[in-house]
Amino acid sequence: MPVPGVQAVAGGLGGPGTAPPGPDAAELSAVLGYLKPEDVAHIERAYETARAAHAGQYRKSGEPYITHPLAVAKILAEWHLDPQALMAALLHDVVEDTQTTKTEIARRYGKPVADLVDGVSKIDRIEFATLQHAQAENFRKMLLAMARDVRVILIKLADRLHNMRTLDAVHAEKQERIARETLEIYAPIANRLGLNAIYYELEDLGFRYLHPTRFRVLEKALARARGNRRDAVGKLREAIQARLAEFRIDAQVHGREKHISSIYKKMQEKNISFSEVFDIYGFRILVPDVGACYLALGALHTMYKPIPGKFKDYIAIPKANGYQSLHTTLFGPFGMPVEVQIRTPDMHKVAEAGVASHWLYKSAEEQGKDVQLKTHQWLQSLLEIQSESGDALEFLEHIKVDLFPEEVYVFSPKGKIFSLPRGATPIDFAYSVHTDVGNHCVAARVNGETVPLGTQLRNGDRVEIVTDPESRPNPVWLSYVATGKARSHIRHYLKTMQSAESAEVGELLLVQALRSLKANPHEVGEEHWKRFFKGDSANTRAEVLADIGLGKRLAVVVAKKLLATPEAAAEGAGRLDSVTIRGTEGLAVQFAPCCRPIPGDPIIAQIKKGQGLVVHTHDCPAIHPFHFDPEKWVDVQWDPAPGRLFDVNVRLTAANQRGVLARLAAEISEADSNIDHIETEERASSAYTTIVFTIQVRNRMHLAQVFRRMRRIPEVVRLSRLKKKPS
């Protein structure tokens, strides 16, 4: 039977004159009854655009690709999301997988829809060093877009849910990667946003594909237990219903089975077998109002004894994602533990739909607003962490910390409640109050007693922070803080301070080097620095000084480059009185075995008694910047055409398979190079072998050619040039 409002669109989803819509399109049409006819018309147009853009594309399962965005839109429609979100869901892959651009979408459907699509799309047009970096950058983009509009993550979660439901179609290796990603990122985000139904389904699906054998064994065991315990559960439900009726409580009692992933986690945590897990069933009790929740709790506690320490009041103190319920575990019949959740219908709606309850249930509007507020606060903290994280991997590391919060609820001296992850310390509390409170924290009092800053907080603790304007974050704090916000603020502060202090040390070393070259440091001005920056990777004087202070640059090399005359700089010399190294000097010039420089490497030479000049690369680990005596070092440069081969140390890790070494030798020979020495390192894994060998090359370009040929061998997983301190 047609849904009211949908018939306003001729032909439903599929449009006039098109082929009849598939079952997915019909299912979507069936859940759009909550929208106005004009909104459905806009969604139908977006469907047409997506269908045309994905024409000829198929999923791994063989289905037309359009079935995927339709399924995603249907999930969102079940949450009653607005038309913009549904249009974005239908179009979420067109920018990534077709020729359609964000500008086109903005022109046809408005900027909000285009922004939602852009937030969900991957950054696949940028080259990243590793898959890990690419994934981290994608998560950062998605999470920051989510901080601006929570609908981005709702679309992404629906997208991931449908992909997980259809993961059978891809090969096992990809199944494992996507399942791991789902369990590490998407399921915790769903949990953090209070989307319980999605969270448990993603957890179960992730477990199924990451550990397929364990999943099947538990699934069969659960099916057997379900049959064995069905009668017992039914009788227990009737007994609970009868006891609540005695107390004149109008209640709905529902038996619920624990999810397979939850059972597996419990088995792991307690190191027990499935037969020892008695509480695979629990009960959810829905009562009319908050007062009835506590009355029902009292009724149950007169029926069965509660297990000490297993009572939690999430009504008085809701979880960070807005979840509210009373939880208790009882000694049931035959000593079997019985888990019970007691809540109102509105609480149940928020518990199942979380942040989506704002759209889904008008009756839960007040609680929805509270959930929205808590979500907004968390999303704002993401923006703070992003502004202080050095790169995408660091940002993702901080976020992961916040995505696994088994909450601890503590109080400020004024009674304000703070939700922190389990294991949080007074430092975490200080940063959750305010960044300045954390940065200037010197001591803490918990329940009126002074405690070490590394003390783990417990539920109900009253925490007071003592600050000092002169105090600064301590690097030791990083070893015990538990929140991403505290970790990112501490790291940001330490990096800033390290850079400033390193620049001070670098300036002292540079002044010393300039004086050793008989130059007046006060005469080195802006013109010298302008010449220095031509062709240099640094952009500011502070950056160069910090590099010297951290030992990344040699002060004497910077000093000589600063003092180079404009004529020398123009000729590309960049050095004063440098010695030309041709590579054929014999005993008078030696190449350091620690770094083995080759033509193309920036080099510097040390004058050693009885050895002559020993040539090192600028970044050789053997050069200690703080024991650097400029009188014993000479600036050198390569001859444009040295006439010999040079030794280079290489470390290579490859899959431990027959014939790999022979193919490596063949590729090196084909690249007009030669292996001079070879040895294997101790194995960390029987699957891989690490080899350290010395090859002979003409220069850096020749080395790059040899590396390219070696990387063509599929078994090679890691390849790098080796520089090490002399033993």
Residue 254 pLDDT greater than 70, yes or no: yes
Express each pLDDT in 456-506 by its tens digit.
Answer: 888 778 899 998 888 888 877 877 788 877 888 887 777 777 677 677 777
pLDDT at 296 (0 to 100): 93
- Whose CA is closest to 3, among 17, 18, 13? 13
Of 77-81, 492-496, 621-625, 637-641, which has the strongest mean pLDDT? 77-81
Of 178-182, 554-558, 635-639, which has the strongest mean pLDDT? 178-182
Query: Is 96 tagged catalytic?
Result: yes
Cβ–Cβ < 8 Å for 85, 356: no
pLDDT at 487 (0 to 100): 82
> Are 36 and 149 members of one domain?
yes
Mean per-residue pLDDT, 428-433: 90
Mean per-residue pLDDT, 434-457: 88
Please say which residue of 162, 197, 213 terminates a domain.
213
Q: What is the CATH number of the domain that holds 277?
A: 3.30.460.10
How far is residue 368 CA from its own chain's centroid? Answer: 28
At residue 297 the predicted structure's pLDDT band, cuts being 50, 70 and 90, is very high
Cross-strand partners of 570: none
Side chain identity, residue 269: E
Mean per-residue pLDDT, 403-421: 72
At residue 535 the predicted structure's pLDDT band, cuts being 50, 70 and 90, is low
Cβ–Cβ < 8 Å for 263, 281: no
Mean per-residue pLDDT, 509-518: 81
In our burial notation (b when 16+ CB lie closer than 10 A, e otherwise), range 442-461 reads eebebeeeebebebebeeeb
> Are 175 and 96 members of one domain?
yes
CA–CA separation, 229 and 264 (whole Å): 19
Question: Apex CA 70: angle with CA 69 and CA 72, to 5°?
Answer: 65
257 belongs to a structural domain: yes
Burial of 721 (0-12, 13-18, 19+ CB in 10 A): middle
Mean per-residue pLDDT, 430-457: 88
Residue 684 pLDDT greater than 80, yes or no: no
> Are 219 and 207 members of one domain?
no
429 belongs to a structural domain: no
152 belongs to a structural domain: yes
Residue 285 pLDDT greater than 90, yes or no: yes
Helix, strand counts (H, E) of the chain:
28, 19
> Are 302 and 352 members of one domain?
yes
183 belongs to a structural domain: yes
pTM of the model: 0.51
Cβ–Cβ < 8 Å for 382, 399: yes
Query: Is 97 tagged catalytic?
Result: yes
Percent of the chain with pLDDT over 90: 9
Mean per-residue pLDDT, 630-647: 70
132 belongs to a structural domain: yes
> Are 298 and 152 members of one domain?
no
Mean per-residue pLDDT, 610-630: 66
Please say which residue of 315, 342, 363 terminates a domain.
363
Express each pLDDT in 22-33 by its tens digit.
Answer: 445 677 777 888
Pairing status of strand 449-451 against strand 337-343: unpaired
Mean per-residue pLDDT, 80-84: 85
How confident is the prediction for the chain on average, in pLDDT?
76
> Are 22 and 159 members of one domain?
yes
Please say which residue of 193, 213, 233 terminates a domain.
213
Q: What is the CATH number of the domain that holds 171?
A: 1.10.3210.10
At residue 632 the predicted structure's pLDDT band, cuts being 50, 70 and 90, is low
Query: Contacts by 164-169 with C-beta closer than 8 Å and gap 24+?
Result: 164/201, 164/202, 164/205, 164/206, 164/209, 165/205, 166/59, 166/61, 166/68, 167/205, 167/209, 168/61, 169/59, 169/60, 169/61, 169/62
Within 10 angstroms of residue 612's Cβ, the number of other Cβ atoms is 16
How far is residue 147 CA from its own chain's centroid? Answer: 15
> Are 119 and 196 members of one domain?
yes
Mean per-residue pLDDT, 42-51: 88
Strand boundaries in 447-598, DSSP class E: 449-451, 463-467, 579-581, 589-591
pLDDT at 295 (0 to 100): 94
462 belongs to a structural domain: no
160 compared with 684, residue with greater pLDDT:
160
> Are 305 and 189 members of one domain?
no
CA–CA separation, 76 and 359 (whole Å): 10
> Are 46 and 131 members of one domain?
yes
Domain that holds residue 329: 214-363
DSSP at 300: H
> Are 11 and 137 members of one domain?
yes
At residue 19 the predicted structure's pLDDT band, cuts being 50, 70 and 90, is very low
pLDDT at 484 (0 to 100): 76
510 belongs to a structural domain: no
Q: What is the CATH number of the domain that holds 657?
A: 3.30.70.260
pLDDT at 364 (0 to 100): 43
At residue 164 the predicted structure's pLDDT band, cuts being 50, 70 and 90, is very high
In our burial notation (b when 16+ CB lie closer than 10 A, e otherwise), range 30-49 reads bbbeebeeebbebbbbbbeb
Q: Which residue has the tokens 């063509």?
A: 712
642 compared with 207, residue with greater pLDDT:
207
**96, 104, 279, 543: the active-site residue:** 96
> Are 352 and 265 members of one domain?
yes
pLDDT at 33 (0 to 100): 83
Reading the block at residue 561, the tokens are 């480059």
Residue 334 pLDDT greater than 80, yes or no: no
444 belongs to a structural domain: no
Mean per-residue pLDDT, 401-415: 67
Q: Is 17 helix (H, G, I), strand (E, B) or coil?
A: coil
Count structural domains, the chain: 4
Mean per-residue pLDDT, 335-350: 84
> Are 11 and 100 members of one domain?
yes
pLDDT at 544 (0 to 100): 83
Lowest mean pLDDT segment, chosen from 1-15, 175-189, 292-306: 1-15
Express each pLDDT in 202-251 by its tens digit.
Answer: 999 999 998 888 888 888 888 777 666 666 777 888 889 999 999 999 99
Lowest mean pLDDT segment, chosen from 397-411, 627-641, 664-678: 397-411
Reading the block at residue 420, the tokens are 């922190």
**48, 63, 78, 97: the active-site residue:** 97
Q: Is the dihedral of CA 645, 650, 654, 657 positive or negative?
A: positive
pLDDT at 1 (0 to 100): 31
